[in-house]
Structure 1
Amino acid sequence: MQNVSVLSGGRVELGAGTLYGAINTLLKKRWIMPWETNKSSRKKEYVITDLGKGTVDREMKRLTELLENSKKIVGGETHAEKSV
C-alpha cells in the first residue's frame, strides 16, 4: 500500500480491502503466485507469472497506443492533415 502511494506521488491511496481483493483476483487469474521466502515472517510475497507478464505487456502496448493517439488529437494532428 505504501509503495503504491510513493509510486503515484500520493495521488493513489490503496486500502487493505482493495489490495487483498486485487491480490485474490490476480491469483485466480494466475497472473501472480505466492513466493515462499521466509516462513517465519508474516509478510506475504508474490511473483508475477509468465501469463501475468504477457498480460502486462499487452496492456502496456494498449496504453502506449492510447497515449500516442491522445497526443495526436491534442496536438491537432489528424489523418486528413497528414495526407496533405
Structure 2
Amino acid sequence: MPYNGGPMTEAMYYVLLALMHPSHGYGLMNTIEEVSKGRIKMGPGTLYGVLSRMLKDGLIVLETDDGRRKTYKITKDGKEALLQEYQRLISLVEDGSILKGGI
C-alpha cells in the first residue's frame, strides 16, 4: 500500500534518506547529522518514534535483529514516498522563487 500520509515531517524525510543504506539506530542518528550538515541532531526518542510509525506504514522493514541491535532498511514504498516528498519540496522552493526579487 503506497504511503498517503500527506507531507512528511522533517524527521521522517531524513530517516528515509539515511536508510538508503540499511542501518541501526545509532548509525542513523550519525548519518542524519552528517546528511543535514549538522543542522539536525535527532535524539533516540524522536528516532524510535519515527521508526515505529514508518514500520507500521510499510515505509521501512526490520532487516536484522540480533537482540542487541536492530537494522532497518527502506522498502520500495518507502523509496517511492521519499521521491514524492523530494519532488514536493522542490516545488515549494521553486514556488518561492518569487522572493528572489525582494519583498
Task: Sort the TM-score into its range (normalised by shorter chain).
Answer: 0.7 to 0.9
Number of positions where the alignment pairs a residue of Structure 1 with one of Structure 2: 73
> Counterparts of 1:67 and 1:53 in 2: how far apart (Å)?
21
Distance in 2, Cα, partners of 1:9 & 1:60: 18
In structure 2, C-alpha distance between the alignment counterparts of 1:50 and 1:63, rounded to whole Å: 20
List structure 1 segments (4+ residues) > 2 angstroms apart after TM superposition: none
Residue segments in structure 1 that go unaligned for 5+ positions in a row:
77-84
Structure 2 residue identity aligned to 1:33: V
Equivalent in the alignment of 2:5 = none
- Identical-pair percentage: 37
Structure of higher CA gyration radius: 1
**TM-score scaled by length of structure 1:** 0.75
Once the two structures are superposed, the pairs formed by residues 3-82 of structure 1 within 5 Å of their partners are 3-36=31-64, 39=66, 42-71=68-97, 73-76=98-101
Q: Which deviations, in whole Å up to 9, do the C-alpha atoms of 1:17-73 show, x marking residues without a partner? A: 10000000000101000112x73x7221111111111111111111111111112x1
- Mapped to 2, the partners of 1:66 and 1:14 lie a distance apart of 24
More contact order relative to length (CA 8 Å, sep ≥ 6): 2
Q: Which runs of 5+ in 2 are unaligned?
A: 1-28
